[in-house]
Amino acid sequence: MTKLKSYLCGEWREGTGEGEALLNPATEEILAYATADGLDRKEALDFARRQGGPALRALSFRQRAELVQRTAALLQKNRDELIGLAMTNGGNTRSDAKFDVDGAIATLQAYAEMGAALGEKRLLADGEAIQLGRTPRLAGQHVLTTRHGVAVHVNAFNFPAWGLAEKAAVALLAGMPVLTKPATSSALVAHRLFELLVEARIWPEGSLSLLMGGAGDLVDHLEGQDCLAFTGGASTAALLRNTQGVVTRGARINVEADSLNAAVLGPDVEADSETYDFFLKDVLRDMTQKAGQKCTAIRRILAPEALCERFRDDLADRLAPVVVGNPATDGVRMGPLATAKQKAAVLDGLSLLARDGRLVHSRPGLKPEGAPEGRGFFVSPSLLEVEPGAEAPSVHSHEVFGPVATIVPYDGSAAQAVELITRGAGGLVSSIYSEDVPFVTDATLGLAPFHGRIFLGSAKIAELSPGPGTVLPQLVHGGPGRAGNGEELGGERGLAFYMQRTAIEGSRPVIDRILKQGGA
Ligand code: NAP
C-alpha cells in the first residue's frame, strides 16, 4: 500500500511508522497511508526561509504572476485526474469535485491576472504620499514589502485543491515561500498536485513544501516573519493561537473557523416568485453540495412566519428526490461525509439541534446507492424547524458540518432578522433575498459588522450568481468572532497578510526615489 511522502527541503521524504489511512468515504476502502512522524519540521522551515524566500523576493509581481499562471495551466491540464482523486478520497460527486478543482484553477488565474497588472514592482505603495510639514518637503508614505518568513498553510479536509491553491496563490504572488499541510484524511489531491508541481519545476527551489501527515511540532518553530494561515475547527485554532511562535515571537496568524451562515427571505417575497425560487435553489444547493461540508453553507434559514409552512414543504419536496450514495454510481447527487469522525459529529449535532426544534425532513434507514452494505459515512439530508420566538440556543451556536439546516421563523422585520442572525456571534457570509430596498439596506447595515460577506439575492442577479456558498477570489473570505476573525483573498487586499506595512517618513524626493527603486 502506498505511503505518501512529504516534500521538504527540496526532496521527497518518508515519515516513520504506518501512519493514518486515507479512505474512500463511500466504501471505506483504504487508498494510501500518510505519516510525517520523524520528519524535521524546523529544518524544512529553515530551508524554505533560506532558499525559497530570497528567490521569490528577487522576482517582480509580474514574474511571480507568470509562475502562478503556469501553475493554473498545470492544474487545468491534469484536471480530470485531480477530479477523480477528489471523488475517490473526498466522497465528492463529480460536480462537487469540479467545484473544488475548478475553484482552485479560477483562483490561481485571478491572482495571475492581478499580479500581471501590478507589473515589475516588488513593493506596493499603500495610498498616496501625505504632507506632514508646513511644506510638501516633509512627507509620509506607507509601503508594503514582502515578509522574510514562510507562509505556513494548515488546511481543512473539505477543499483539498481549492484550499491549497487559494492560500498558495496569494502567498506566492506576495513573494513568500509556502509550506502547506493538508488535512490528512483527504490529502490525496494535494499530494498529487505537489507531485505535478515538483515534476514541472515551475517554482524556484524552496518555494513549495508539503507536509503529509500530522502537524507535530511544526508551529512551535514559527518565527516573527512567518505567517500561519489556518482553516479548520475552532478548538484547533485556539491551540494554534497559543503557540510560542505566535504569542512570543509575533508570527502572524489568520484563522478561518466555524460559521453559522444564515439566509433570510425578505417580507416582500411571494411564494412562486423568481426570488423565492432562487432562494429555494440556493438553500437546496448549500445543504447538499459537498454533503453540506462547506464553510459557507447556509445553516439557518430565516423565513417570515406566514411563509414558513409553505417554504418547509417546498424545500422538503426538493430534498426528497436527492439521490444519496457512492459518487461512482450514476445519478448520485450527494455523497458521504469525509470521515467517520465527521459522521459522528454530524449525528451528535443533529441530536443537539433536535432539542431546540423538530425534524421536518430526514430519511431514517437511508440506503445509499451503490455503496457496500453497512459501509460509508453517509447521512441523510435533514431539515429542522423551530417555533416562532424560540430561544433555540444550539441552532444559533452549534455548527453542524453536514447536510443539515434549520428553519427559523421571524416577524418580517429587518431588526428581528438581524437580532436572530447575530446570535451566531460572527459569520463568514449571510444572505438577504429581497427586492425591498429599505429592508435590504437595514438588514445589510445591521449584519455587516458581524460578517465578512453579505450576499444580496434577488431575481435581478439570479441567472448570473454562483450563490452565497461560492468564495470568489475578488472578495474577502473570512469573518469576525466565531468565524475566526480572519480575512483571506479579497483581490489585492489578500497580499497584505504576507507583507509588512511600513510608514516611511522623510524628505519627499528621497521617498519618491525609494518607490521608484521598488518599481512602485
Ligand atoms: P481540524 O481538526 O481543526 O483540522 C483542520 C486542520 O488542522 C487539518 O489539517 C488538521 O490536520 C490540522 N490540525 C489538527 N490539529 C492540529 C494541531 N494541533 N496543530 C496543527 N494543525 C493541526 O478541523 P476538521 O475537523 O478537520 O475540520 C472541520 C471544521 O473546520 C469544520 O467543522 C468547520 O467548522 C471548519 N472549516 C472552516 C472553513 C472556513 O473557511 N472557515 C472551511 C472548512 C472547514 P490533520 O488532518 O492531520 O489532523
CB 304 within 8 A of CB 412: yes
Same-domain status, 66 and 177: yes
Cβ of 228 closer than 6 Å to ligand 1, yes or no, is no
CB 459 within 8 A of CB 278: yes
Cα–Cα distance list, 480 to 32, 38, 425, 452, 485 (Å)? 37, 37, 8, 7, 4
d(CA 507, CA 436): 53
Cβ of 233 closer than 6 Å to ligand 1, yes or no, is yes
Same-domain status, 48 and 123: yes
d(CA 417, CA 442): 10
Instruction: Please give the backbone phi and psi of residue 319, each rounded to the nearest 5 degrees, phi first.
Output: -75, -35
**Cell matching residue 473:** 477570489
Same-domain status, 435 and 499: no
For 87-118, b where at least 16 C-beta lie within 10 A, e where not — what string? bbbbbbbeebbbbbbbbbbbbbbbbbebbbeb
In the chain, what are the helix, strand and coil shares in percent, each to the nearest 5?
40, 20, 40
Q: Where do runs of H (alpha helix) occur along 27-140?
A: 41-47, 53-57, 61-77, 79-90, 94-118
d(CA 111, CA 212): 26
Instruction: Please give the backbone phi and psi of residue 457, each rounded to the nearest 5 degrees, phi first.
Output: -90, 130
- Write down the residue that cell numbers 524535521 correspond to: 40
Please tell me which residue in 9, 20, 227, 295 is annotated as part of the active site: 295
Same-domain status, 249 and 269: no
Coil, strand or helix at 472: coil
Give the pLDDT score at 278: 95
Which residue's CA lies nearest to atom 9 of ligand 1? 183
Please tell me which residue in 9, 166, 227, 256 is annotated as part of the active site: 256
Angle at which helix 437-447 crosses helix 414-421, to 10 degrees, equals 30
Same-domain status, 326 and 448: yes
Q: What is the pLDDT along the chain (520 residues), one digit of tens a residue?
A: 799 999 999 999 999 999 999 999 999 999 999 999 999 999 999 999 999 999 999 999 999 999 999 999 999 999 999 999 999 999 999 999 999 999 999 999 999 999 999 999 999 999 999 999 899 999 999 999 999 999 999 999 999 999 999 999 999 999 999 999 999 999 999 999 999 999 999 999 999 999 999 999 999 999 999 999 999 999 999 999 999 999 999 999 999 999 999 999 999 999 989 999 999 999 999 999 999 999 999 999 999 999 999 999 999 999 999 999 999 999 999 999 999 999 999 999 999 999 999 999 999 889 999 999 999 999 999 999 999 999 999 999 999 999 999 999 999 999 999 999 999 999 999 999 999 999 999 999 999 999 999 999 999 999 899 999 999 999 999 999 999 999 999 999 999 999 999 999 999 999 999 998 877 6
CB 158 within 8 A of CB 293: yes
Distance 249 CA to ligand 1 centre (A): 23
Considering only CA atoms, which of 107, 115, 18 is closest in space to residue 59? Answer: 115
Residue 466 belongs to what H/E stretch?
Answer: none
Distance 486 CA to ligand 1 centre (A): 15
Angle at which helix 79-90 crosses helix 188-200, to 10 degrees, equals 160
Q: Which residues contact 269 (CB under 8 A, 6 or more apart)?
A: 275, 276, 279, 307, 433, 434, 435
For the question of residue 20 being annotated catalytic, the response is no
Give residue 148's Cα distance to chain centre.
25
Atom of ligand 1 nearest to the CA of 182: 9
For the question of residue 308 being annotated catalytic, the response is no
Tally of domains within the chain: 2
Q: Does 384 map to a domain?
A: yes
Cβ of 256 closer than 6 Å to ligand 1, yes or no, is yes
Same-domain status, 414 and 491: no
Q: Does 45 map to a domain?
A: yes
Distance 233 CA to ligand 1 centre (A): 5
- What CATH number did the domain enclosing 494 receive? 3.40.605.10
Same-domain status, 365 and 449: yes
Distance 298 CA to ligand 1 centre (A): 20
Considering only CA atoms, which of 306, 247, 335 is closest in space to residue 23? Answer: 335
HSE toward the beta carbon, residue 56, CA cutoff 13 A: 34
Same-domain status, 380 and 417: yes
Radius of gyration of the chain (CA): 24
The contacts found for 491-495 with CB under 8 angstroms, 24 or more apart, are 491/110, 491/114, 492/114, 492/118, 492/124, 494/170, 495/124, 495/144, 495/170, 495/173, 495/174
Cβ of 293 closer than 6 Å to ligand 1, yes or no, is no
Computed from CA positions of residues 196, 201, 205, 207, in that sequence, does the dihedral angle turn out positive or negative?
negative
Q: Does 438 map to a domain?
A: yes
DSSP per-residue codes, 284-340:
HHHHHGGGG--TT---EEEEEGGGHHHHHHHHHHHHTT--BB-TTSTT--B---S-H
Residue 487 belongs to what H/E stretch?
Answer: none
Cβ of 155 closer than 6 Å to ligand 1, yes or no, is yes
Exposed (0-12), middle (13-18) or buried (19+): which is 509, by Cβ within 10 Å?
exposed
For 426-461, b where at least 16 C-beta lie within 10 A, e where not — what string? bbbbbbbbbbbeebbebbbebbeebbbbbbebbeee
Q: Does 27 map to a domain?
A: no
Q: Does 387 map to a domain?
A: yes
Cβ of 329 closer than 6 Å to ligand 1, yes or no, is no
Distance 236 CA to ligand 1 centre (A): 7
Distance 73 CA to ligand 1 centre (A): 28
Among 154, 164, 488, residue to substitute to test ligand 1 (most atoms within 8 Å of Cβ)? 154
Q: Which domain holds residue 143?
A: 41-257+486-517
Q: How many residues would you count in the chain? A: 520
Same-domain status, 59 and 147: yes
Atom of ligand 1 nearest to the CA of 401: 32
Cβ of 231 closer than 6 Å to ligand 1, yes or no, is yes
Q: Does 244 map to a domain?
A: yes
Same-domain status, 65 and 191: yes
Give residue 75's Cα distance to chain centre.
19
Same-domain status, 52 and 105: yes
Give the pLDDT score at 520: 66
Q: Does 51 map to a domain?
A: yes
- What CATH number did the domain enclosing 430 receive? 3.40.309.10
What pTM was estimated for this model as a whole?
0.96
Same-domain status, 409 and 426: yes
